[in-house]
Structures are given as structure tokens and as C-alpha cells.
Structure 1
Amino acid sequence: MPPKIANNSEDAVSSIKDNEAIWTHNMAATPTVLLKGLAKHALSCRNLTLLQLHTEGDGAALMVAPQLRGHLRCRCYFVSAVTRKAVQNGDADYVPILLAEVPKLIRSGEQRIDTAIIQVSPPDKHGNCSLGVSVEATHAALEKAGKIIAHINPQMPRTHGDGLITYKSFHTVYEESVPISCHAPASQNDVYNSIGQNVAALVQDRDCIQTGIGAIPDAVLACLGDRKDLGVHTEMFSDGILPLVEKGVITGAYKKNHPGKIVTSFVIGSQKLYDFVDDNSTVQFLDTEYVNDMRSIQRNPQAMSINSAIQVDLTGQVCADSMGTKIYSGFGGQIDFVRGASLSEGGRGVIALPSTAAGGSISRITTTLSAGAGVVTTRAHVHYIATEYGVVSLRGRSLRERTKDLINIAHPDFREELNREAFEKLHLSLN
């Protein structure tokens, strides 16, 4: 039976009924047009649940509007800027989970999915559409969803890998040409540039790197122009890798898993980035259950993960998802890649962060984590920590040794206080 052709976005989602669990496509592929229709349709429904990772755009923001209370509630496996306040206020739910585990949760049936709403490219001559710039856990959701509602967007790139889906598998389709959500490169400053230089000093020729989006990843990548034969196996990437591809720095020639290919699960960035991945067979968009599986990561020698944090305590515990009790983001793939890189032959994992926050008034390296803060990377998993004041390796180091090392890369304004608190609170003599 051919899909229903919807007249508008509200008509497209009209088949959604009370009590449904709805999966939405994520990241730059967030189906903003369909979410705007859902915001209207949901007012006639009760007890809808919208399952999501990181969502983007004004359509996603409508999903946490006060008028939808009792009609629709967001259930977030990762918290974005548009859902953060709702989660912190108790108006949306956060599920702590490794990104590699989200597809497993879906495929096992532990998380029911009645409907999936997605944004795809137009069908090719064979009747196949593409999930475009974001495959992540949506690939798994499509396998289990009772019905699939698709926004067909001529501006969505066609990408290679796990993102193909046949037009005939759709329940309803709505076509409209709209721009894909773009992100401008993060602003740089002296702190980020110093962190980038410190982390880049650890990157060797032939490394297989994982990094993300933001000022620190961009600063690191900007320092790698003289490296040779780097590979990429990462849950996501942004514009920072493009100059390295253009210069021939990224070749993937020494990868053992997908040699010569850039492996990712999603991308988010500029239109130039989206043009780069469009019909580019050297970039493989694969399911996060595979991309973030530690076994997939470790197959490549010299795997190097680069991730960020909100706080690191003096024993090496890394908080990356909350500010005290307030959830800020999520686990994502940090521990997947920290552990996967550590198991790789010659692999390394780096947690990079500025030494201070709030305009220099707060140290991010702290004696203990803030009350209620969650541990994402444990002190048993952590390897390198980097700030603008240097890099230290904590692997195999005692608590006393870690404390001394971390104080040495804290901001100088806080080192005396950290030394004192290490003795008073942790009973560690650093003399």
C-alpha cells in the first residue's frame, strides 16, 4: 500500500493517537516541520511521549511548551539546549544511558516505539530515501516502529552507510524544501587555542581520532595540519575536519576497521559540511550501536578519543552531564570512546576542559565534585586530562599522585586552595 501524501505537517502526523511512544530523528536532521505539526496535533491527544537524543530548532522547542503538559512529554536520552530547562524543571525526563546502548534498548523491546518521525532525502530511482546527516539510533527506531512518518526534504543530503530506507515503508509522507539546521563554528580564544595545542601534542601520525563539535575540538584539529595519515572513527564530526581532508592529512590508510573511510553516526555544522558528505562514499554513516561499540573502536590501532567535561575532581572523576543536580547534557559516547581507545593498541583517551568557568570565578578542577554531580567517566577509566596549563596522564597514578598532577594544571589562582583542601578533606599530604 503506497504512503499517504499529506497536505501539510499537521495532516502528516494526524495518525498519531493517545498514549503513543514517538521517536524523532535527531541532531541536524531533527524533523522541525513535522514537530511543528505535532505541536498542534498533540493538543487533541493525551499522554504522548516523544523519545529523543539531541534535537535542534524551533520545532523541537515547541515540544516543551507549557500548553503541551498532559498532552506530550519529552523523554531525553541526551539533553540539548531546547530541552535543558524543561528537564531541570521536571517538565521533561532524562534517561542516563551510553549512546551505544540506546539502539539496544530499542531493538530489545525495552523501549516501545509506536511511531517514528523522520526527515529524509527524496527517493532515488530505486525508491530509496536517505536519513542524510544523522543515522544515530534512528536506524534502530525505524526497525521497530509501527509506522513511519517522513518529511521528504530536497535539501537533505544523500549519505552512504546505514541510512537507506525505502519509500514504500512509509505510512505518511509530506514534502517541503527547507534548509538543514546549521551550526556556525564556535568562537576561539587564547584559552581554547592553548588547550588545542596541548591536546594536539599527543596526536601522532596514523592516529584514528574521535572528536566532536565546539571550540576545543576545532582548536585541536586546527593544530594537526602537519600530521600524516590520520583516520576518523567518531560518533560525530563538524567542519573542523574539512581542512584536514583537503590537505590530505586524513586518509584512513592505516585503519584496520573501514580503511580509507571516515566513519561517523551523524554530522552537524555548516552547509559546506553538508555538501561535503552529500553522496560521498568515503564517509560512512553507521548505527551508533556499531560506531560506539568499544569493540569497533578498539579494532583500529592508535585510537584517540578527545572529549570534554564540566568538572574533574582531584581523584580523576569526570562529570560531563550535570552541574551539580542540574542535568546539562548526557553521557553521549564519552565512556564508549574513552574505554574503546584505551583498549586499542597504542590508544589514548583525553578529557579536555578550560581550567575555570563563570568568567574565571570557579575552578573546573575541584577537590570533590559538586553535590549531586554525576560521574560519566570514572577515575578508573580516565587517562589524560588537559587544560590550558598542560596535560597530565592519570593512568596508573595513585590518588596522591593524581592530586598533585591535577593541581599543576589547575588555574594558578586556585592551586593554593586545592592544596589546602586536598590535605583537609582528602587527607592527602602533597609534600
Structure 2
Amino acid sequence: MILGDSGKICEETKKIYPQKFASEEEIFNHIHRGDRIFISTACGEPQYLVQALIRFVESNPKAFFDAEVLHVWTLGVAPYTDAKFKYNFRLNSFFVGNNSREAVNRGMADYTPIFLSQVPQLLHRGLVHINVALIQTSPPDDHGFMSLGVSVDIVKAAVENASLVIAQINQFMPRVHGDGFIHIDHVDYIVCHDEPLLEYEAMAPNEVADQIGKYVARIVQDGDTIQIGYGSLPNAILSNFNDKKNLGVHSELLTDGMVELMKKGVINNSQKTLNRGKTVATFCMGHQSTYQYIHDNPSFEFRTLDYTNNPLNIARQNNMTAINTALEIDLTGQSTAESLGKTFYSGIGGKADFMRGAILAPGGKTILAIQSTAENGEVSRIVPFVREGAGISLLRGDIHYVVTEFGIAYLHGKNIRERAMELIAIAHPDFRSWLVAEAKKAGFIFQDQAFIPGKGGEYPDELEACKNTKTGLDIFLRPVKISDEPFLKEFIYSLSDRSLHRRFISFRKD
């Protein structure tokens, strides 16, 4: 996607702002020992600037040392984590990605756990000072404003608080509406270099992910405003929303799947309470076609993280529905998305921000979608207890629904025994007997608790049916579940002795 004549725009900019152009060596000579260097997020990473910085260090290995590279996370190769640069750079990330996971777990890089909604304030309050910011923007318009494009998140706060701002002007960067504009006066140095933005390629959804998506689609209602994450499972969930109407988006991340639903008219934001008519996000990860679609499109509004992820803003959205994933969840309802035991895997991110905001929203609901097993079916993601050392990303009160390929568990307002039985019922059949035994051992469920998993251990979806009466009443019929036990108890206790005797040939008085 080329948005104009690159050479012409750069030459015109150079004529007006000659002081902002210099050789790469002159620019990077402004970096000193111990400086903190910020890099834009994910697909907004200025790839050329990062590679230019690496070339500078390779040519001048003693130019500076112990500089901290700071970012939310990146999709690039993260060359600054290479062992040969261990005296020059040390990475500090607010989220652990594929390119930094090994370095973090070897102790060669740092991870800062924090709610992403709070990161901009770290910069504004000076608690974390940025010496040099490497960013990527669209070309300046006639008024000197440049768009941060696909990455607004904390980038704008970094620009506003950095001592030195170096911008890669890239014709491939879309101009995105919202709060992601900076004036060229706030940039100290400009490097013109056009290159396609990084793209995010999720694994193709499988049948398991698609089945989870079908269950999630039952929970999401027409007119809901949704937030959802990234990856093959969220993509599968979105692909099951094609029959929905008037959905809205207030999300940290914009993905290809959301854009496809906008093109189909499924997402139109017409029922939103806040930012009606706008798809609101803070950064975008997808393909070039998505970047083209959001370019100068007034249907989108990109805002900073302290707006999109602020639970108080999220709570203002009627029928806000937060859909997130996790690595594992225990039988009491607490889950982790950050770590596998003591091994860091991702980060706090925005999950808790959105889940807690959605809980506070009128008609809001939270959904944790998770495949029942990992490691090719060898490990259950539903476990008696989360692994030792794991960080708890979502507390027991944060989750309304848990969805696996085996069904839906509703946890909100349920006690520990009820939660355990709900979750065992949607665990993989191969692990249910083990989970029942462990739940009894932990005292979560009664020692004589009956558990009949059904034929093949799977819930018989084919027996479900919807009926409509002559009076227009819609009735949903389904097989009884283990989680229905409290309702059955209440029903039986509500019957008279006469009715009990007629129905069951006996009744209890004690």
C-alpha cells in the first residue's frame, strides 16, 4: 500500500525541516550509556530504524553500553536480544512474545508485569523515563500532522515524554482516525524509508477451535459490544459471528477477523453506548488488506491504552462482552495466561482490564475460551490447581463463562463445589475421572458425589431443540447437565408430599 510519492514527500519535508534530517551515525550518536530506548509496538515496529541501530552498534560496539530497550512487544526478530549485544542492550518488555520468551526465561531480558491500561501513566508521571523513542509514522499532511497508524497504544505517550524522538516515515503506514496524530514539531529526527508493515499470521483454526467458536456464539447476543484477543482461537470465534447483527467493537486489538465482520455489516457499532458508530482499538495486527481498509476510514477510532483499556470506560459500554483465552484454569475458577508454572509465557496484557470492566458494565459478561487440552492431548488445561509458580491472570470472580469444545460452564455466583462440577463437565473426557478424584481429595466436591459423564463422555448436542408454542413462547430443550443439580434439588423440594409420592412412589420427610 503506497499512499503517495515517497521521494517527493520526503524531499518537500526536508526542504521545510532540514534540521530533522541527518546521517544515521549522527542520529544514533545521541544514544548514551544507560539510555532507555523505546520501540513502537507489534506491526508498528520501525523495522528499518531497528536494523539501522543494530548496524550502528556493529560498526561502533563501544558507542554505548547497558542501554535498555523498552516496548510492549514486537513481532520482529528482536536482534538486540542476541548474545553478541549483551553489553550494549538489555530488553525490558511489558509483554513476553515469541522473540523474547527464551531471553526472559534465561534471565537475559526483563519482563515488567503491569496492567496495560496503566503503562501510559508510567511515562506521563516520569516513573519510567524514555531517552530515545524509535517510532514509525505516516507521511505528514499539509498541516504537519503524522499518524501513528496501526500502533497508538503507548507510542503517543512515549513521543510526548521522550527526550529524543526518531521517526521512520513510511508510505505503507495507514493514516488512522482517532487520537494517534503527532505533529512533526515533536519529532527530532526523520528517516524516510518505505517498507511493508509487519504482518501477523495466526495458525489456521482447527475443528476444536471452530466448535469453541460455536459455543461462544451462543453467548454473544445481537447488539453486544465485543473485545477479543489474537490467535487462531479468537479468529475461529469471530468466524462464527456471521449471523449476528449490530455488533460493536471496543477492544485493545483490531484483527483481520473484525474487519471481515465489518465488511459483512455484522459489526456496525450502531448500538454502542460509548463511541457509537466507531470501531475503537489501540493497535492493529493483521494483513496488508486490513491496513488498507483502516486507512483514512472514519469508521475507526484508535485511542491510547489508558482510554481503550480503562475499566471505567469499558464499564460505560452497555452489553460489553469480553472474550479472552488462557493457558489453564483450575477447578475453583482462577486462570493463568502469563506463565506455565515458573516459565514466563506472555504477560498480564489487557485481559484483566477488559474482564473487570465488562463485569461492571450494564448487561456485561466475560467469557474465557480455552481448548480442553494442550501438548497434543497429553495435558488437560482444566486442572485441580494451577501449576506452582504460575501468575494468576484472572481471579475467581473475573470469569462468567468458561467455554471449551465440550460445552459451556457458567461460574458467576457459583460456589466452589458447583464450579468444580461445571468445569469437570466441559473438560476432555480422558481427564474427567482424574479431575473428579482430585476434586474429592481437595474437598471441592462431596466424597459421594455422583458423576455420570454420558455416552463417550461428551454432551449430546444433537438432543437439543428449540420449540415455539402457539402463544409465541420460545422454549429451549436440552439434556440435563451435572450443573443442573441445584435446580433439580430446588424443584423437588418445592413439590408437595402428595406430588412427590405420585411422581416417585416415595418422599422424604427428614
In percent, how many aligned pairs have the same letter? 39
- State the number of aligned residues: 428
Query: In the alignment, what sits opposite 1:313?
Result: 330
Q: CA–CA distance in 2 between the matches of 1:45 and 1:300?
A: 48
Match of 2:41 among 7, 26, 34: 26
Indicate yes or no: 2:308 matched with 1:291. yes
Q: CA–CA distance in 1 between the matches of 2:442 and 2:52?
A: 54
Q: Which amino acid aligns with 1:250?
A: I
Matches within 5 A, 1:164-183: 164-183=181-200
Q: CA–CA distance in 1 between the matches of 2:27 and 2:49?
A: 7
Indicate yes or no: 2:95 matched with 1:82. no
Q: Which amino acid aligns with 2:160?
A: E
Match of 1:51 among 63, 70, 74: 70
Indicate yes or no: 2:33 matched with 1:14. no
Q: CA–CA distance in 1 between the matches of 2:426 and 2:306?
A: 35
Indicate yes or no: 2:378 matched with 1:327. no
Match of 2:274 among 231, 253, 257: 257
Q: Which amino acid aligns with 2:21?
A: I
For residue 3 of structure 1, report the CA deviation from its aligned partner: 4.2
Q: CA–CA distance in 2 between the matches of 1:4 and 1:247?
A: 44
Q: CA–CA distance in 2 between the matches of 1:3 and 1:235?
A: 36
For residue 152 of structure 1, report the CA deviation from its aligned partner: 0.8
Aligned partner of residue 266 in structure 2, secondary structure: coil
Q: Which amino acid aligns with 2:145?
A: N
Q: CA–CA distance in 2 between the matches of 1:206 and 1:293?
A: 22
For residue 310 of structure 1, report the CA deviation from its aligned partner: 0.2
For residue 393 of structure 1, report the CA deviation from its aligned partner: 1.3
Query: In the alignment, what sits opposite 2:471?
Result: none
Match of 2:240 among 205, 223, 237: 223
| 8 Å Cα contact 2:406-2:428 kept in structure 1 | yes
Indicate yes or no: 2:56 matched with 1:37. no
Q: Over residues 277-313 of structure 1, what are the superposed CA-to-partner deviations in whole Å (9 max), with x where a residue is unaligned?
A: 1111110110000100011111110000110100100
Q: Which amino acid aligns with 1:5?
A: F
Aligned partner of residue 168 in structure 1, secondary structure: helix
Q: Which moved more, 1:421-430 or 1:115-124?
A: 421-430
Aligned partner of residue 81 in structure 1, secondary structure: coil
Aligned partner of residue 99 in structure 2, secondary structure: helix
| 8 Å Cα contact 1:5-1:172 kept in structure 2 | yes
Q: CA–CA distance in 2 between the matches of 1:225 and 1:243?
A: 9
Q: CA–CA distance in 1 between the matches of 2:241 and 2:119?
A: 33
Query: In the alignment, what sits opposite 1:268?
Result: 285
Aligned partner of residue 118 in structure 1, secondary structure: strand
Indicate yes or no: 2:260 matched with 1:236. no
Q: Name the larger-Rg structure.
A: 2
Query: In the alignment, what sits opposite 1:5?
Result: 21
Q: CA–CA distance in 2 between the matches of 1:376 and 1:117?
A: 30
Aligned partner of residue 244 in structure 1, secondary structure: helix
| Long gaps (5+) in structure 1 | none
Q: CA–CA distance in 2 between the matches of 1:193 and 1:6?
A: 52
Q: CA–CA distance in 2 between the matches of 1:158 and 1:133?
A: 8
Q: Which amino acid aligns with 1:4?
A: K
For residue 378 of structure 1, report the CA deviation from its aligned partner: 0.5
Q: Which amino acid aligns with 2:34?
A: N
Q: CA–CA distance in 1 between the matches of 2:19 and 2:388?
A: 52
For residue 262 of structure 1, report the CA deviation from its aligned partner: 0.3
| 8 Å Cα contact 1:407-1:419 kept in structure 2 | yes
Structure with larger RCO (C-alpha < 8 A, sep 6+)? 1
Indicate yes or no: 2:426 matched with 1:409. yes
Aligned partner of residue 119 in structure 1, secondary structure: strand
| 8 Å Cα contact 1:394-1:402 kept in structure 2 | yes
Q: CA–CA distance in 2 between the matches of 1:265 and 1:186?
A: 23
Q: CA–CA distance in 2 between the matches of 1:186 and 1:349?
A: 24
Q: Over residues 307-363 of structure 1, what are the superposed CA-to-partner deviations in whole Å (9 max), with x where a residue is unaligned?
A: 010010000011001111111111110000101111111111111110000000000
Q: CA–CA distance in 1 between the matches of 2:262 and 2:94?
A: 32
For residue 273 of structure 1, report the CA deviation from its aligned partner: 0.5
Q: Which moved more, 1:41-50 or 1:254-263?
A: 41-50
Q: Which amino acid aligns with 2:22?
A: A
Q: CA–CA distance in 2 between the matches of 1:427 and 1:70?
A: 51
Query: In the alignment, what sits opposite 1:63?
Result: 80
| 8 Å Cα contact 2:159-2:186 kept in structure 1 | no
Q: CA–CA distance in 1 between the matches of 2:444 and 2:314?
A: 38
Q: Which amino acid aligns with 1:306?
A: I
Q: Which amino acid aligns with 1:17?
A: H
TM-score, normalised on structure 2? Answer: 0.82
Q: CA–CA distance in 1 between the matches of 2:114 and 2:276?
A: 30
Query: In the alignment, what sits opposite 2:213?
Result: 196
Q: CA–CA distance in 2 between the matches of 1:2 and 1:90?
A: 43
Q: CA–CA distance in 1 between the matches of 2:178 and 2:66?
A: 35
Matches within 5 A, 1:103-252: 103-252=120-269
Match of 1:384 among 401, 425, 428: 401
Q: CA–CA distance in 2 between the matches of 1:380 and 1:188?
A: 29
| Long gaps (5+) in structure 2 | 1-16, 451-510
| 8 Å Cα contact 1:150-1:172 kept in structure 2 | yes
Aligned partner of residue 349 in structure 1, secondary structure: strand
Q: Over residues 51-107 of structure 1, what are the superposed CA-to-partner deviations in whole Å (9 max), with x where a residue is unaligned?
A: 11111213xx20101011121101111011111110011000011111101111111
The CA RMSD measured in Å over matched residues stands at 1.3
Matches within 5 A, 1:360-371: 360-371=377-388
Aligned partner of residue 408 in structure 2, secondary structure: strand
| 8 Å Cα contact 2:100-2:109 kept in structure 1 | yes
